[in-house]
Structure 1
Amino acid sequence: MNHTLFRSAVLIALAAAMPCAQATTLVYQPVNPNFGGDAANGVNLLNEANAQNKYTAPSQSSSSSTSESSLDQFNQELQQAILSRVASSVTNSIVGTDGTLKPGTISTGNFTIVVSAISGGNLQITTTDNTTGASSTFIISNGQ
């Protein structure tokens, strides 16, 4: 009986020594200053993000436009001007006097352009690179 009494006394003593549990309201406090957190956290968060960032920007190649010679730049501009004139010439041959596109086929040295009428008054334009066989197609309204 003494043994049981001793156990009970120890349990009562332990229960009395334990503080009472109290519940409080949990309040969310954001850390990131972009979402209302303390502004002093911004530098620390940026440093942590930079330390974890494994991305490296691709290096500039030596063939970038900033290192091209004046002659190379001139040749590129000349090539673009000539291609623009060829495109204008092709456009003039497929556009009618009323401004609408005319179905037909136009061939240049390297390209074939096919304008064909499809349903709903739309036109399908297919451009094919004759050297590679690659082609591109788009559909437009003929405006009728």
Structure 2
Amino acid sequence: MKHRQSKGTAQIFAVMSLCGLPSAVLATNLVYTPVNPAFGGNPINGSVLLNNANAQNRHTDPSAKKGASGFKPPTALETFNQRLQSMILDRIATSVTGSIFDSNGKLKAGTVETDAFSVSIVDLGGGMLKITTMDKATGASSTFEIGTAP
């Protein structure tokens, strides 16, 4: 009987080892694939991740106006005033640019002043001009340099 048990044990071991071989043959390297599109994941996941984040977000902006999106459309009067202001600033810019260009269309050095703004153009030499605009009310200024064609 011992002979049969050892033969049965050997058969079971042989069957188990044969069952384990296919899994070893089919094994491959593990490759990490990110889920978030910001880190190389599939772009289709972006809306799902954003919707999940918004659904879990319990914080609200206290300064947000009432409404689902927090956006309050401007009134007709506000829209009119914005357009009027844009048109006036456009006219001022047009008149200022008319006085800073010569008859050939090239910028000329000098300063142009309005009630609210000052535009200064300085010739740096070598075909470079430095333009500084300043808000007289606040003192805020912006400066940039440009190259002029010879």
Q: CA deviation at 1:125?
A: 0.7
- Counterpart of 2:133 (choices 127, 130, 139) is 127
User: Which 5+ residue runs of structure 2 have no aligned equivalent?
Assistant: 36-43
Q: Does 1:80 align with 2:96?
A: no
- Counterpart of 1:99 (choices 105, 118, 134) is 105
Higher relative contact order (CA 8 A, sep 6+): 1
Q: CA deviation at 1:61?
A: 3.4
How many Å separate the matches in 1 of 2:108 and 2:78?
A: 38
**C-alpha spacing 1:24/1:48, structure 2 compared with 1 (3 Å):** farther
How many Å separate the matches in 2 of 1:128 and 1:120?
A: 25
**C-alpha spacing 1:18/1:83, structure 2 compared with 1 (3 Å):** same
Residue by residue over 1:114-137, the C-alpha shift from the partner in whole angstroms, topping out at 9 and shown as x without a partner, is 101114201111111111121111
**C-alpha spacing 1:112/1:51, structure 2 compared with 1 (3 Å):** same
Q: Does 1:60 align with 2:46?
A: no
**C-alpha spacing 1:107/1:46, structure 2 compared with 1 (3 Å):** closer
How many Å separate the matches in 1 of 2:47 and 2:88?
A: 52
Residue by residue over 1:31-90, the C-alpha shift from the partner in whole angstroms, topping out at 9 and shown as x without a partner, is x8xxxxxxxxx8xx689633345568973333x33xx12x33222222211111111110
How many Å separate the matches in 1 of 2:124 and 2:88?
A: 32
Moved more, 16-25 or 131-140: 16-25
Give the aligned length: 119
- What is the letter of the counterpart of residue 113 of structure 2? S
How many Å separate the matches in 1 of 2:46 and 2:134?
A: 50
User: Which 5+ residue runs of structure 1 have no aligned equivalent?
Assistant: 1-8, 33-41
Partner of 1:51: 52
Partner of 2:26: 25
Q: Secondary structure at the match of 1:118?
A: strand
How many Å separate the matches in 1 of 2:135 and 2:92?
A: 15
- What is the letter of the counterpart of residue 24 of structure 1? V
How many Å separate the matches in 2 of 1:114 and 1:46?
A: 48
Q: CA deviation at 1:111?
A: 1.2
Partner of 1:4: none
- What is the letter of the counterpart of residue 131 of structure 2? I
Q: CA deviation at 1:26?
A: 3.9
